[in-house]
A = this chain, B = another copy of it.
Amino acid sequence: MASGTLYTYPENFRAYKALIAAQYAGGNVKIAPGFVFGETNKTDAFLKKFPLGKVPAFETEDGQYLTESNAIAYYVANSQLRGQSDLEKSQVLQWLGFADSEILPASYAWVFPCLGIMQYSKQSTERAKEDVKASLQALNIHLLPRTYLVGERITLADIGVACTLLQLYQYVLDADFRKPYQNVNRWFTTVVNQPEFKAVIGEFKLCEKMAEFDP
């Protein structure tokens, strides 16, 4: 059972991965109090531990330092979450990679303009929507005969992919858009309603009206 201090800003889906994993594994992961993003992570003390100044960042209780959210989640996880066999462990890494390389860029490109975080471009948004559809379709096929992404219990694969989908399911995947992906919807709903998830992210409300860019 791993313990330590997690440096992050609030509502950071990357930090959620580690926090949820710790809920399952029973580790004691404390969020660093008084951390101010943009200030604390630019101090010499922080950069000495975490040279790139990125969060989430994790300091183990015996003074080791970890960055990259998947690595932190892995560290605080248990053997169930990491996968049992070599194949399952590889499949967990596969889905974590899928979340980062397939879902995340498209999610940002679609949602950020709606939140006013970046400029809107019709072309980028349309391509992002198509990329999201492709990712959801791949997940939907995979989840047709399966309850979880890897094996028969929740793993870091479910945690990582679900956390990466949070933004999409919250802001833009309205009932119409998500209708063709029933298996993904089933899996996502099950996963985010697990007590370990709710302890970290609270009650999750699915998107009712697709957010759009408002000039």
Contacts and interface: CB of A to CB of B under 8 A. Distances in A.
Interface centre among A74, A89, A141 (most CB of B within 10 A): A74
Nearest to A58: B90
Given A71-B93, A71-B97, A74-B93, A64 B87 contact: yes
Interface in A45-77: 51-52, 60, 64, 66-72, 74-75
A171 to B, nearest CB: 23
A93 B68 CA distance: 8
A2 interface: yes
B91 A71 contact: yes
Q: Is the interface of A mostly helix, strand, loop or mixed?
A: helix
Nearest to A52: B138
B97 A86 contact: no
Interface of A: 2, 51-52, 60, 64, 66-72, 74-75, 86-87, 89-91, 93-94, 97-98, 100-102, 134, 137-138, 141-142
Nearest to A78: B86
13 contacts: A51-B138, A51-B142, A52-B134, A66-B94, A68-B94, A68-B97, A68-B101, A69-B97, A71-B97, A74-B89, A74-B90, A75-B86, A100-B100
| Copies of this chain | 2
A145 to B, nearest CB: 14
B64 A93 contact: no
Given A52-B102, A68-B98, 7 more contacts: A60-B87, A67-B94, A69-B97, A70-B97, A75-B86, A75-B87, A97-B100
Contacts of A93: 68, 70-71, 74, 93
A2 to B, nearest CB: 7
